[in-house]
Every structure is written in structure tokens, then in C-alpha cells.
Chains A and B, each alone.
Chain A
Amino acid sequence: NAGVTQTPKFQVLKTGQSMTLQCAQDMNHEYMSWYRQDPGMGLRLIHYSVGAGITDQGEVPNGYNVSRSTTEDFPLRLLSAAPSQTSVYFCASSRASGSSADTQYFGPGTRLTVL
């Protein structure tokens, strides 16, 4: 199993450009999520999905869109990049949602710089 994969690993954008960060998992996990990590801020939840066709907003959703057409893939779209979106983005997945609280498996991250 490859686990959780993310592409690209690094990206530089200009303000106003759009792009999609890719995330895929091969563990048949129902729950997937996107976090951003900024220095001193920990990990903040952007969007999450509890299954194919179901998505919802997290703590910091503005400027980002997601969709979940398959169990395996959960892309994150930046609509119009802004310097404030410079960050490291992590995708994560777990077997199920709910209070049973499964382990979350994180991808290697995408380091995004917006100029």
C-alpha cells in the first residue's frame, strides 16, 4: 500500500492563479481531510469528507474548494491564490469518522508559496 499520496510536493504560484492539490489514498478509508500548517499555528482543518459525495467545511475553508467523487481521491482547489495561502498542506485519511476515533494517516505534504 502506498498509503496517502500528495502531489505536487512543492508549488510556487502567483497571486490570482488557481491550482489543484491532489490527494489519494489506497486504504479504502471513508474519512479524508485537508489541513494547513503554518508556523506556530499547528494544524488547522480546511475541509473534510466522510465519504464519496459528502464534504463539509472545517475551521479555515475560505478560498478553498473540495469534491469527493471517489473514495480514493480528495482534491483541494485554490480558486484565486493569495499570499496568505502560503503554507504546508497535508491531506489525511482514516478508516471511519465518529467517536471511535480512528488513527489519521497523513500524506507527505505540499509546500505552497504564493508570490
Chain B
Amino acid sequence: GQQVMQIPQYQHVQEGEDFTTYCNSSTTLSNIQWYKQRPGGHPVFLIQLVKSGEVKKQKRLTFQFGEAKKNSSLHITATQTTDVGTYFCADHTGSQGNLIFGKGTKLSVKP
């Protein structure tokens, strides 16, 4: 079945450094959603990308969808301790609207 590969699995950064997580697929992605899960919490929707080459920004977060719709990335500028958590990408597989999640990137930020 379709797989969504997410790298890296873990990322440790110093506060103020940048962070990027990547989401890749061997097949064309339908549309990509990004979620954040704080430690001990539940996934919370961040954004959805639909169009080829789309770029969206939310304050320090920049989301990109590849031109071929086979990859996506989330970039955080100048990380803060509040950015700690696991970031997931997810693709909608088809007409039933099911999400296929990547395994997530766990971000830790050292003050």
C-alpha cells in the first residue's frame, strides 16, 4: 500500500536554530496535512497543502509542497521550547478521506 516516509525520526536542536522535517512518497500525494503532537497530547492540525509547488507560512513555520507532489517539508525558523513535540505529515489516500500518516519527526529543543 501507499507509504509516506518522514525524515528524520528525531531532531535535537539548540533553541534559536532552525529545524526541517521532510515527507516523501514514491507515488503522487493527494494532498498533505501537517499535524503537531505535544508530549502526552494528541495530534493537532496545523495546515493543509493541495496545489503543486504550494508554499504556506504560519509565523515561524513554512510549509512546502513539491512541484511533483511527491514530497513536502515543514521548516521552523529560530526554534523555541514551545516547538517541542512530534510533527506528522499525512496524505489523503482517496475517496474515503482516510489519512496515511508518516511516522513523525520528534523535535526536542535545548534552551
Contact B97 A98 (CB under 8 A): yes
Would you call B96 an interface residue if the criterion is a C-beta within 8 Å of the partner chain's C-beta atoms?
Answer: yes
Given A42-B104, A43-B43, A104-B45, residue A99 in contact with residue B92 (CB < 8 A): yes
Would you call B33 an interface residue if the criterion is a C-beta within 8 Å of the partner chain's C-beta atoms?
Answer: yes
Contact A43 B98 (CB under 8 A): no
Q: How many residues of A contact B (CB 8 A)?
A: 31
Would you call A103 an interface residue if the criterion is a C-beta within 8 Å of the partner chain's C-beta atoms?
Answer: yes
Given A90-B43, A101-B30, residue A41 in contact with residue B98 (CB < 8 A): no
A76 to chain B, nearest CB (A): 15
Q: Using CB atoms, name the residue of chain A closest to B31.
A: A101
A86 to chain B, nearest CB (A): 17
Question: Could you list some 25 contacts between A and B, CB below 8 A?
Answer: A33-B98, A41-B103, A42-B88, A42-B101, A42-B103, A43-B90, A45-B99, A50-B97, A94-B97, A96-B97, A97-B95, A97-B96, A97-B97, A99-B31, A100-B97, A101-B33, A102-B97, A103-B45, A103-B48, A104-B33, A104-B43, A104-B45, A105-B45, A107-B42, A108-B41
> Could you tell me which A residues sit within 8 Å of B by CB distance?
31, 33, 35, 40-45, 48, 50, 56, 58-59, 90, 92, 94, 96-109
The 3 nearest A-B residue pairs measured at CB: A97-B97, A42-B103, A106-B42
> Could you tell me which B residues sit within 8 Å of A by CB distance?
1, 6, 9, 30-31, 33, 41-45, 48, 50, 88, 90, 92, 94-104
